[in-house]
Amino acid sequence: MALLSITADSKPSRIALLACVVLFTFIGVHFLYLMPGGPLSYGRSPTPVNHTNTIVKPDFPRKIWQTSKTSPAGLNHMDRTSIQSWTKMNQKWRYEIITQYSAESYVRDRFSHRRDIEETFTDLQDPILRADLIRYLVLLGDGGVYSDIDTKSLKPIEDWVPAAYKDHANIVVGIEYDRLEGNRWIDWTLDLQFCTWAIMAKPGHPLLEMTVNRVIRGLRKLAFKQGKTISGIKPSFNEVLDTTGPALFTQSIFDILSRSTGSNFTWLNVTRLTSARLVDDVLILPITAFGSGQSHSNSGSPNDDTALVEHLFKGSWKNDHPMEEKKEDSGSSDADSVSRRSTNDFFQ
């Protein structure tokens, strides 16, 4: 008889055979899912994965995302010139504009497994809240570079990450505002803030997952506070910053780095930053990198060697989102406020 023939009198052999099958199946599945490049390998899927640098990760996707209320054919000369700075400077990178129509299509296709995201984005009508949310979603879903349409690429994207960090950085963020030793300006809710007009990330990064989840919860909370549905939300200036904007994004950065470092990571850890700093897999760039040409926070000139992106502050949305009154006087004017927080014309 064959060696593995199973009869009524071979119960111990049958049990041993089944045990071997189960053991080798477990080992095979475990290896498949945890090996570099497997389904849980970092950056292969919009599904969040373990936040660890021990896994070999692919390069940043060569994709540039921008948003506009119209297709490229309907853009003015200034916008087209800004776009050309990105496409000419980064010719090996794919480029895509997300419009108010293609944004909903993208969310339905990419996040069909997240009904909360799909329904919230579809219901959301405020243009700046939608513009904030879609940038996190395209980076979470596909990765690459997001930059507002009123920005210029000053250096090739390949130069954004120093050579020493290329194998370790999975998301790149830049400082927008740093209080330094002065008083906090009137329209800032934090002492240091990261910008959202330029971000580079690999898909599925836990920071983006955290940010998106907080946006969804924040929008629902804001709707409840106002006694409205998501579609009826009318946020103030500060509610935009704290619900979908850079204040929320900044707090998410602090929280995820506090978790990964096992310490209380705050603005004091990065204030007065003058060179790129890698914390876990988050690469933090000093203010001149993405925020050159500003009149605060020791921002340098767009002509500096360290300047990577120039924000032109083309459009302001403050008139449609009034600032809340504050008791303390921090010494800044409304003119300062308008010049520092703006967005493109997405959905307006």
State the amino acid at position 186 in one-letter form: I
The pTM assigned to this predicted structure is 0.79
Mean pLDDT of the chain: 82
Whether 198 shows a pLDDT value over 90: the answer reads yes
* DSSP, res 196: S
* Amino acid symbol at 65: W
Torsion of CA 297, 303, 309, 311, to 10 degrees: 60
Amino acid, single-letter form, for residue 178:
D
Written as one string, the DSSP assignment of 120-187 is HHHH---HHHHHHHHHHHHHHHT-EEEE-TTEEE-S-GGGSS-GGGTTT-SEEEEEEEE-TTSPPPTT
Which pLDDT score is estimated for 69?
84
| Long-range contacts of 217-223, Cβ-Cβ distance < 8 Å, separation of 24 or more | 218/242, 218/243, 218/244, 218/248, 219/120, 219/124, 219/129, 219/243, 219/244, 220/120
- With beta carbons less than 8 A apart as the criterion, state whether 180 and 298 touch: yes
Residue 10: which pLDDT band, with cuts at 50, 70 and 90? very low
The CB-side HSE value for 215 (13 A sphere, CA atoms) comes to: 30
Phi and psi at residue 344, to the nearest 5°: -80, -170
Amino acid identity for residue 14 in this structure = R
* Residue 158 or 22, more confident: 158
Residue 95 has pLDDT above 90, yes or no: yes
Residue 250 tokens, joined: 């900044």
Do 89 and 153 contact (CB within 8 A), yes or no?
A: yes
- Give the number of other Cβ atoms within 10 Å of residue 333's Cβ: 10
pLDDT at 29: 40
**CA 104, CA 106: separation in Å to the nearest integer?**
5
Q: Tell me: pLDDT of 325 over 50.
A: yes
Pairwise CA distance, residues 249 & 184, whole Å: 18
- At 311, list the tokens: 């924000």
How many distinct helices (H) and strands (E) make up the chain? 10, 10
The C-alpha atoms of residue 214 and residue 42 are separated, in whole angstroms, by 22
* CA 2 to mean position of chain CA atoms: 61
Tell me which H or E stretch contains 241.
helix 237-243
Mean pLDDT for the stretch of residues 45-51: 39
Q: Tens of pLDDT along 272-307?
A: 999 999 999 999 999 999 999 888 888 999 999 999
Give the confidence band of 313 by pLDDT, cuts at 50, 70, 90. Answer: confident
Between 168 and 183, residue with greater pLDDT:
168
